[in-house]
Structure 1
Amino acid sequence: MAKANEAIAIRPKRGRLTLLSRRIYNALLYHSQRQGVDEPVYQLPLSELIGDARFNSNNTELLKAHLRDMQATTIEWSTSGPALRRWVSTQLLGTVTIEEQGRGRPCMVTWRYPDEIKERLVKPHQYTRVLLEISGQMRSYSAAVLYEIGARYLTSPGRLSMREDVLWWAAVLTGRSDIKEVDYRFLKRDVISKALAEIDALCEDFSIELIEHKRGRKIEEIQFRVVPKVQQRLGDISSADRNVFDLELVGRLIALGIKQEEAQDLYAITDEGQIRATLDHVEQRLRNAAMPELKSPAAYFKDALKKGYAGLKALPPTAGAAAAPGAPAPATPAQPAAAPALSEGERMRRILELWENARMVQARALYAEMPEADQAQVRARFEADRLDLLAAPIARAWRREGPASRIAASSFHKWLAQDTWPQEPNEKALLAFALERGVTGM
């Protein structure tokens, strides 16, 4: 996809952008460019948009919510030339229609862009090649933005990004328009450093370095340097270090009632050991019959994670175990207010997300248990079926490292799961799965 340079570092003036809305926007832009700038509107089967955006859900209401967010997001677009300076304030996306055409016919999505920026988006003069396959693997909004910035400046002479003040970068890297002031220490710790680590783990072509510019003792402005990776370095990294996305850990988050997209974002921005310890704490709390029943395990988990509770205090003794005489009762996170009851459709969607995640985990385990000869046959079938469809960097990574590659492994395990268990689950099968996992009350 050729993405206009002005559309990479988007600073919303109203509204908020999320990781999924950015993926959807990129997918829409990709198909708009394929259909051509002369088209008054653009159209696509909804299932294709969902697949390209790595949406992993058939929940149309959730998709509509993200589309509304993009329509409500106001951006400023500035251009300049020898004799002209032009400023435009406009929506990110124009009118969108989702049309269900009846039984046996695909559901279609139709969209348009504001006239003032349509040509610059669909047929840009200055643009950056952005690979949807790699951009879609970023697990946080800030990493997705920095990946596109890195792709833009990788081929520039100095490989240096724009230099802007801290507040500007905070809005760009979080997709938020409501930021009025920023404590740079927290922005660096919670957003920038984690995004840089994520890009270093998932992007094979380059890494990104932070450059800080001080005025006195205060850091006023920052920019980024793009550093091409020496490909031979990857051979020195162990397979365990390469497989950075722990599907089982994400599955445990979903089982608590956290949505898949939120679980993945949470995993991306939080220390893995902290998540694991907090999960162990919450699961132990759920098993403790001496304590009141948790009305919202997901809210309890977030509260415990925020307060670092798992690393500070132990749970009260489980039923049947006596506390030490005179010992004060350990504090616990405040019981969250009861979460609103989920609709049947939302509950089934969460179960489906958990089922899909579990199936990928099973596929990975299945491959690991195969004899070497069988593994070679599976890899050969994957290459015959999918290798030509992969983006060039992912295909190169596969040829060099196979399933051990950071960016190729997810494509392989997803294919293996679909190839091994091609039948999609019906509602009865999903409910049986949920009963087995004890997640029907999410």
Structure 2
Amino acid sequence: MATRKRSETGAELEVLEASNREFRKANSAVGVRVKSGPTLSMMGRRIFNVLLYHAQKQGNTGNSAPSPWDACPNPEDYFWIPSGDLAHDSSWGSKDHKMLIAGLQQLQTTLVESDDPTGRFTSVQLIGAVHVLKGSGRRPTLIGWEFPRSTRDILSNPDFYTKLSIYHLTSLKTVAGTALYEIAKRYLTNVGGKTARQHWHWWHDTLTGKPVGSVKFPEFRYFKRDTLNPAIEEVNRTDIRVELLETKKGRSVTDLQFLVSFSQQVALELPPAPVVDSELLDRVKALGFTERQSIDLLSQHEDAYLRSTLELVEARMADLSKPALASPAAFMRTALKDNYLSAKQRVKTEPPVPKPKKTASSIKSAAEIAEDKERSARLDAAMASFNSMTAEEQNELLAQFHALFPMAKRYRRDGTPFRSTFGQWYSRRDVADAQTSLV
């Protein structure tokens, strides 16, 4: 028992130490909206916050700067950290630091705007030039960056700022949750503890990180269900609590604001969620995307939305009753853009249509019953033939099958999905082989 108490105390101290790693984010940089460029993703938010943290920790540029080289004649004008530190502090979750560089490049092309009346942070890049000096031997790879000159002082040494914890920011798993947490922390000590009241379209742009005007606004009820409620639930597991306040005109919701307060009791946090899930990355690549395209998809979409849409696409690919997809990757892009998942959910939530009474025409004919039995027998025969093979023969056959249906790697060999999908493929393959041998 004593050992358990000591371990629990150690874990709590570790959480306390991690949560004390704070930085100051200028109020004008909190709650920004993307003016142009890619979606401000979870990956981008984490990297940007970690860069701010290290810049303020160092105080001045030029610390640990390498010697000049042709492409970087003035390294003393940049902040420098090992790539491993950036990956660790942002909970990167991948050993491939080339993808981390891709995240930095996305920040370079992102222009943001804020409602700061001074306009000092309007329409500027989140970061400026980036340099990477590859390591050798024991010398780590170094990453150097600069903030835009017009906002360097505001970002690295702001007068009006919000204190944020790297630990809590990396424990959040959604873009909306991260954005809402930052905004809520800004207004935590305000009189009344309320955020500014804004139209819900403003909150949509700010919480989703999508460029202003790039997407059609959904109905408010769907925005609340898919974005607001999950973000609120996530923030309320941190050191603060938020409560949604709605302003209505008639029956329609127009404006939103949040009541913010300190959490009475903070639960022991789980380890920070990785920003790049290698298993998910492999599944996306299996659809035909390149590694860079796969990384872009992971960075541009919420994890839960991407996973659910991917499952929908994989199920469509495994459905042998429909024509094969000419391009699973193109289908995936369209499914994400047009929100196929939402359409499927709406179908599920619609009240069931009463089943019509059976008539003579709706009762299966003897021929149809016989056809069902024949299909089941074909599947049984295919599985019996497969099970009778040696392990080497089975592995060779499965390699051919998985090359055509990558998502089937997740199916259990003793499960119904595997029997149905593999059985149909194998029985058709047997028929094709038999016809070829007769020619």
TM-score, structure 2 as length reference:
0.57
Q: How far 1:299 moved relative to its partner? A: 7.6
- Residues 74-153 of structure 1 correspond to what in structure 2 (within 5 A)? 74-76=111-113, 79=116, 88-153=122-187
Q: Structure 2: which amino acid aligns with 1:187?
A: F
Determine if contact 1:165/1:221 at 8 Å carries over to the other structure.
yes
The aligned residue for residue 54 of structure 1 is: 91
Contact 2:171-2:271 at 8 Å conserved across structures: no
Contact 1:194 1:269 survives alignment (8 Å): no
1:101 CA drift (Å): 3.9
Q: Which amino acid aligns with 2:31?
A: A
Contact 1:279–1:301 (CA under 8 A) maintained in structure 2: no
Q: Give, in whole Å, the separation in 2 of the partners of 1:280 and 1:115.
A: 46
Structure 1 Cα separation of the partners of residues 31 and 273 of structure 2: 29
Over 3 Å counting, the alpha-carbon distance change for 1:323 and 1:154 in structure 2 is: farther
Q: 1:257 to 1:86 in 2, by over 3 A?
A: closer
Equivalent in the alignment of 2:222 = 186
Alpha-carbon contact 1:2-1:127 (below 8 Å) kept: yes
Give 3-state SS (helix, strand or coil) of 1:66's partner: helix
1:347-368 CA-to-partner distances (Å, cap 9, x unmatched) read xxxxxxxxxxxxxxxxxxxxxx
- 1:59 CA drift (Å): 3.0
Deviation (angstroms), 1:326:
8.6
Of 106, 110, 115, which aligns to 1:69? 106
| 1:105-133: CA deviation from partner (whole Å, max 9, x where unpaired) | 21111000111111111111222221112
In structure 1, distance between residues paired with 2:91 and 2:81: 15
Residue identity matched to 2:166: L
Counterparts in 2 of 1:291 and 1:207: CA distance versus 1, 3 Å? same
1:55 aligned partner, one-letter code: W
CA RMSD of aligned residues (A): 4.4
1:426 aligned residue = none
Check the 8 A contact 1:214/1:220 in 2, yes or no. yes
Q: Percent same amino acid among aligned pairs?
A: 28
Q: Does 1:199 align with 2:235?
A: yes
How far does residue 178 in structure 1 lie from its aligned partner after superposition? 3.9
Structure 2 CA distance for partners of 1:147 and 1:269, relative to 1, 3 Å: farther
Structure 2 residue aligned with 1:30: 53
Tell me which moved more, 148-157 or 25-34.
148-157
- Tell me how far apart the structure 1 counterparts of residues 166 and 320 of structure 2 sit (CA, whole Å): 47
Q: Is residue 3–residue 129 contact of structure 1 (8 Å, CA) maintained in 2?
A: yes
Q: Taking structure 1 as reference, are residues 57 and 218 closer, same or farther at Cα in structure 2, changes over 3 Å only?
A: same
Deviations 1:180-210 (A, max 9, x none): 652323322221122112223xx33222221
Query: Where do 1:288-303 residues align within 5 Å?
Result: none
- How far did residue 323 of structure 1 move? 6.9
SS class of match (1:75): strand
Q: Deviations over 1:329-387 (max 9, x none)?
A: xxxxxxxxxxxxxxxxxxxxxxxxxxxxxxxxxxxxxxxxxxxxxxxxxxxxxxxxxxx
Aligned CA distance change for structure 1 residues 2 and 324 (closer, same or farther; 3 Å)? farther
How far does residue 228 in structure 1 lie from its aligned partner after superposition? 3.0
Structure showing greater radius of gyration is 2
Per the TM alignment, residue 143 of structure 1 is displaced from its structure 2 partner at its CA by 0.6
Q: Could you tell me which residue of structure 1 aligns to residue 30 of structure 2? A: 8
Aligned pairs, how many? 307
Q: Secondary structure at the match of 1:256?
A: helix
Instruction: Flag structure 1 segments of 5+ consecutive residues without an equivalent.
Output: 236-241, 313-321, 328-434
8 A contact 2:313–2:328 mirrored in 1: no
SS of corresponding position for 1:257: helix
Counterpart among 244, 247, 256 of residue 283 in structure 2: 256
Counterpart mapping for 1:157-172 below 5 A:
157-172=191-206
Matched-pair contact (CA < 8 Å) for 1:167–1:179: no
Give the Å deviation of 1:103. Answer: 4.2
- How far apart, in 2, do the equivalents of 1:150 and 1:14 lie? 25
List per-residue Cα deviations over 1:206-261 (Å, max 9, x = no partner).
222211122344322211111333328x69xxxxxx989999xx887556336689
Within a 5 Å distance, the mapping from 1:304-315 to structure 2 comes to 305=341, 307-308=343-344
How far, CA to CA, are the matches of 2:170 and 2:148 in structure 1?
A: 25
> What residue is the counterpart of 1:20 in the other structure?
43
> Structure 1, residues 268-322: CA drift from partner, whole Å, max 9, x if none?
458x9xx59x959957975x8888777877887895745538996xxxxxxxxx9
After superposition, the Cα gap between the structure-2 partners of 1:142 and 1:111, relative to the gap in structure 1 and judged at 3 Å, is same
Distance 1:251 1:105, change over 3 A: closer
- Which stretch has the larger CA shift, 289-298 or 30-39? 289-298
Secondary structure of 2:190 counterpart: coil
AA aligned opposite 2:169: S
Distance (Å, rounded) in 2 between the aligned partners of 1:49 and 1:228: 29
Matches within 5 A, 1:233-248: none
- Equivalent positions of 1:269-280 (< 5 A) are 275=308, 279=311
Matched-pair contact (CA < 8 Å) for 1:163–1:223: yes
Tell me if the contact between 1:76 and 1:88 (Cα under 8 Å) persists in the aligned partners: yes
What TM-score comes out, normalization by structure 1 length? 0.57
Gap regions ≥5 residues in structure 2 = 1-22, 63-76, 286-293, 349-366, 373-398, 408-439
